């Protein structure tokens, strides 16, 4: 029997610039990068290479001093071009000058029948050595987990409800056998179940139609219905002391390829999206790719912000920056650096609002209207306003306003009581979007999670 969960709270941000179902292959960039900043929870990363060293795809580049067995590896073969550090010598990027043809480190490969004979310890060792382990994220805290821990369950979301999200049935077409192999591997790591959620508001993707060895769930409703944290909350909530692991369809496919083909394969499809993109479409790339060639001549304005990821939770990068490890989307928005005089009070139909705000008449428009929004926040930071709006867009049984205030007050007991273990940044991103007080809600939540994790 398939469980069906109907999400009523939330809000869809309908931006213009959704990617067309066209997959393009372009000339590969000269450089790629591995960014330690992509991996939350990594402390004191230790670099294993020096500038001028040669590496293959799958060669260990760095590790975390608190989890030395987990390796973070090169996505391509080539020469270490530059090790980029920031303030206080913080490691920001390891850049690789790529070979024209990728060479791979060799790992043991297995047939489908041999996968069932592998034990948990052997699987963990292979995954940690090869670089695919960071595809797994632990709840609570949203960090790369310790392989020695035993989670209760593993959750995967089979769709994305964030703004301009790529379509998974197009993104992962042809990856069915690898995704199934990844699921079979996941089942070896836990005593509980592998939960997989699909969107009941859309047609069932053929990529996920025949998956086995999963507990299947149907989810409907507005964003953030596609967030795995929201799905966990409605299917089997996280309590204090619980550990739950999550991954993505891409993570499953990369893990499956490792065991079936014996190599770390960082190739992926991504969507280029956004209101200022001339040709929003899909591209064949490699993890950590430089985005310059993808963007060149493909935007209608030079006054644009490039985001690795989606508009709500992605990372701002330069126009010649690098794609994040977990991202399957690049979003380009017009930079909102022009002040709008009385912009909040002048009546308009062209601005999006989650409420019937004075001046913003978007509630009169069709729900399918697409908006060309920029990055202007239309206001400065001010004291928290108890408006009750956060509760309308966060479909969880928690009190977000009081949780954020407890974090700012560093009240550990109150944070725990108000449900901080159930959320990470992506789950509260809509709260930040609608916040009339203009606070960095996601940053505040991360501050609270780190306080508890380090306590």
Give the residue range(s) of CATH 3.10.20.600 domains in the chain.
269-334
Q: Does domain 3-16+109-261 have CATH number 1.10.8?
A: no
DSSP assignment of 80-138 equals: EEEEEE-GGG-EEEEEEEE-SS--B-------HHHHTT--HHHHHHHHHHHT-GGG-EE
Percent of the chain with pLDDT over 70: 93
Q: Which residues contact 318 (CB under 8 A, 6 or more apart)?
A: 306
So what's the pLDDT on residue 3?
81
Do residues 107 and 87 touch, judged by C-beta distance below 8 A? Answer: no
Q: pTM, whole model, 2 decimals? A: 0.93
CA dihedral 155, 159, 164, 166 (to 10 degrees): 110
92-95 CB contacts, 8 Å cutoff, 24+ apart: 92/35, 92/36, 92/37, 93/33, 93/34, 93/35, 93/36, 93/322, 94/33, 94/34, 94/35, 94/36, 94/47, 94/49, 94/61, 94/62, 95/31, 95/32, 95/33
CA distance 331 to 273: 5
Q: What is the DSSP letter of 68?
A: E
Q: What is the DSSP letter of 325?
A: T
Residue 228 DSSP SS3: helix
- The answer, yes or no, to whether residue 387 has pLDDT greater than 80, is no
Nearest one of 131, 135, 223 to 179, comparing CA atoms: 135
Task: Please give the class, per CATH, of domain 269-334.
Answer: alpha beta
So what's the pLDDT on residue 356?
54
CA distance 126 to 284: 27
Give the residue range(s) of CATH 3.40.50 domains in the chain.
3-16+109-261
pLDDT tens-digit map of 266-320: 999 999 999 999 999 999 999 999 999 999 999 988 899 999 999 999 999 999 9
Give the residue range(s) of CATH 2.40.50 domains in the chain.
31-98
Q: Which residues contact 113 (CB under 8 A, 6 or more apart)?
A: none
Q: Which residues contact 241 (CB under 8 A, 6 or more apart)?
A: none
Q: What is the DSSP letter of 362?
A: G
CA distance 368 to 348: 17
Nearest one of 199, 226, 196 to 211, comparing CA atoms: 196
pLDDT tens-digit map of 99-157: 999 999 999 999 999 999 999 999 999 999 999 999 999 999 999 999 999 999 999 99
So what's the pLDDT on residue 384?
72
Give Rg (Cα) of the chain: 22
Q: Which residues contact 234 (CB under 8 A, 6 or more apart)?
A: 5, 7, 219, 395
Exposed, middle or buried, 414 (CB in 10 Å: 0-12/13-18/19+)?
middle
Q: Is the dihedral of CA 130, 131, 136, 138 positive or negative?
A: positive
CATH T-level assignment (fold) for domain 31-98: OB fold (Dihydrolipoamide Acetyltransferase, E2P) (2.40.50)
């Amino acid at each position: 029997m398939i469980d069906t969960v109907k999400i009523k709270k939330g809000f869809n941000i309908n931006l213009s610039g959704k990617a067309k179902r066209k997959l393009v292959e372009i000339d590969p960039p000269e450089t790629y990068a591995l960014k330690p900043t992509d991996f939350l929870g990594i402390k004191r990363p230790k670099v294993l290479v020096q500038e001028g060293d040669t590496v293959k795809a799958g060669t260990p580049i760095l590790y975390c001093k608190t989890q030395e067995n987990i390796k973070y590896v090169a996505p391509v073969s080539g020469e270490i071009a530059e090790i980029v550090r920031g303030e206080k010598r913080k490691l920001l990027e390891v850049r690789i000058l790529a070979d024209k043809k990728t060479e791979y480190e060799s790992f043991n490969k297995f047939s489908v029948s041999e996968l069932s004979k592998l034990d948990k310890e052997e699987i963990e060792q292979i995954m940690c050595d090869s670089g695919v382990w960071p595809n797994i994220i632990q709840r609570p805290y949203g960090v790369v987990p310790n392989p020695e821990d035993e989670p209760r369950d593993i959750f995967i979301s089979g769709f994305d409800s964030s703004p301009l999200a790529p379509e998974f049935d197009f993104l992962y077409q042809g990856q069915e056998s690898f995704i199934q192999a990844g699921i079979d591997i996941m089942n070896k790591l836990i005593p509980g179940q592998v939960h997989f959620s699909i969107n009941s508001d859309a047609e069932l993707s053929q990529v996920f139609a025949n998956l086995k060895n999963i507990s299947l769930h149907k989810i409907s409703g507005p964003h953030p219905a596609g967030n795995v944290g929201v799905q966990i909350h409605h299917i089997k909530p996280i309590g204090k002391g619980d550990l739950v692991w999550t991954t993505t369809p891409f993570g499953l496919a990369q893990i499956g390829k490792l065991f079936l083909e014996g190599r770390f394969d960082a190739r992926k499809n991504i969507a280029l999206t956004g209101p200022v993109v001339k040709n929003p479409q899909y591209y064949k790339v490699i993890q950590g790719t430089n985005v310059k060639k993808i963007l060149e001549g493909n935007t209608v304005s030079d006054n644009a912000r490039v985001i690795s990821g989606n508009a709500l939770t992605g990372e701002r990068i330069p126009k010649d920056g690098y794609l994040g490890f977990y991202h399957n989307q690049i979003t380009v928005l017009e930079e909102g650096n022009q002040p709008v005089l009385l912009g909040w009070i002048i009546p308009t139909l062209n601005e999006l609002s989650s409420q019937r705000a004075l001046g913003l008449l978007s509630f009169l428009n069709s729900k399918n209207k697409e908006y060309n929004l920029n990055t202007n926040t239309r206001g400065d930071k001010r004291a928290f306003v108890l408006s009750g709006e956060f509760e309308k867009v966060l479909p969880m049984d928690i009190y977000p306003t009081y949780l954020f205030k407890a974090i700012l007050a560093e009240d550990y007991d109150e944070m725990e009581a108000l449900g901080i273990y159930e959320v990470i940044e992506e789950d509260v991103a809509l709260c930040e979007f609608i916040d009339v007080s203009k606070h960095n809600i996601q940053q505040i939540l991360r501050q609270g999670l780190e306080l508890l994790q380090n306590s």
